Amino acid sequence: MTLVLLHGFTGSTASWDAVAATLGGPAPLRLALLGHGATGTERVQTFEDEVARLAAQLPPEPVQLAGYSLGARLALGLTVAYPERVERLTLVSGQAGLATEFERNERRRADARWCSLLEQLGMAAFVNAWEAQPLFATQSGLSQELRTARRLERLSHEPYGLVRSLRVTGLAEMPYYAPRLGSLPMPVTVLAGELDPKFLALGRDLAAAVRHGRFAVAPHAGHDLLLEAPDLVARELRRAF
C-alpha cells in the first residue's frame, strides 16, 4: 500500500523529511500543493478542483493518505470525495472546516490581510509575521538548525503562489465536511500537539465523528508535528504497515 503525504501551507514535500527518514519501507509519494511548486494547476479554481487534481496523481490501488494542516484539510476532502481511493487516513493538526458563513467571512478577512502583506512587502516580511504567530511559539525551544531549515523552506516560495493558495484552498474556501465524517468507512487517525489547544479540541471532535477514529496527542509539542514530533508521526503511520 502506497503512503501518500501532503504538506502544509508555506511547507513543501521536504516538510516530511524527518518523518520519512524514520519510517523505513518503500519511499512515500509526496505531492506538492497548489501555490507550493505544484505543476498542472492552471485550471484549479476551487478547493474541490485541488482535491481532484491531487486524486488524479494517486496510484490506482487504495492508498494510505496523510496530511499536515492545509494538507490534512485537503486529505480529508480527498477522502470524502473519493473514499474508495483511501484505505487509511492520518490527519496531523487538521480540522473539518468552518460551520457558518460568519466564520468563513472572518477567515477570509484574515487571509486577505496575509495576501496584502505578501503582495505589498514580499516573502521576508510575510515569513517574519507568519512565524511570529502564537501558533508557532512552541518552536522556540527547537534547535537553530531546525528553525532555520523551516524558515528557508517558507522563503523558497513565491508570493503569488501563497496568495493563490490562500484564495483557493484557504480554510474559508474549504467545504464543511463534518456532516459527512460518519460515512467514512476507513480507519482515521487524528494527531494534535499537547501545546496546541485549538487543534486538540478540533482533533478530538474530528476523531469522535468518524466510525473508526483514533485520537493521539504528541506530548510537549505544538502545531507543526512534522517538525516538533516527527518520531510520533512516523510511529502512527507505521501502524498501517
pLDDT confidence bin for 239, thresholds 50/70/90: confident
Residue 211, pLDDT > 90, answer yes
Q: What percent of the chain has pLDDT over 90?
A: 96
The 63-68 sheet, strands edge to edge:
29-31, 3-6, 63-68, 86-92, 188-193, 213-218
Query: What pLDDT, in 10s, does the model give residues 35-44?
Result: 999 999 999 9
pLDDT confidence bin for 102, thresholds 50/70/90: very high
- Domains of the chain listed by start with CATH number: 3-98+174-238 (3.40.50.1820), 102-165 (no CATH)
pLDDT (mean) for 78-96? 97
CB 56 within 8 A of CB 50: no
Please work out, in degrees rounded to the nearest 5, the angle formed at the alpha carbon of residue 21 by the alpha carbons of 191 and 216.
15
| pLDDT on residue 25 | 82
Q: Which three cell numbers stand for residue 30?
A: 509526496
How far apart are the C-alpha atoms of 34 and 13, rounded to whole Å?
12
Query: What pLDDT, in 10s, does the model give residues 59-83?
Result: 999 999 999 999 999 999 999 999 9
| pLDDT on residue 241 | 59
CB 174 within 8 A of CB 187: no
Average confidence score pLDDT of the chain: 96
Q: Considering the entire predicted model, what is its pTM?
A: 0.96
User: Which of 66, 73, 8, 72 lies closest to 47, judged by CA?
Assistant: 73
| pLDDT on residue 141 | 87
| pLDDT on residue 179 | 96
Residue 240, pLDDT > 80, answer no
pLDDT (mean) for 178-200? 96
How far apart are the C-alpha atoms of 148 and 71, rounded to whole Å?
22
**Which contiguous run of DSSP H or E holds residue 86?**
strand 86-92
The more confidently predicted of residues 164 and 239 is 164
pLDDT (mean) for 212-238? 96
pLDDT (mean) for 117-126? 97
Residue 94, pLDDT > 80, answer yes
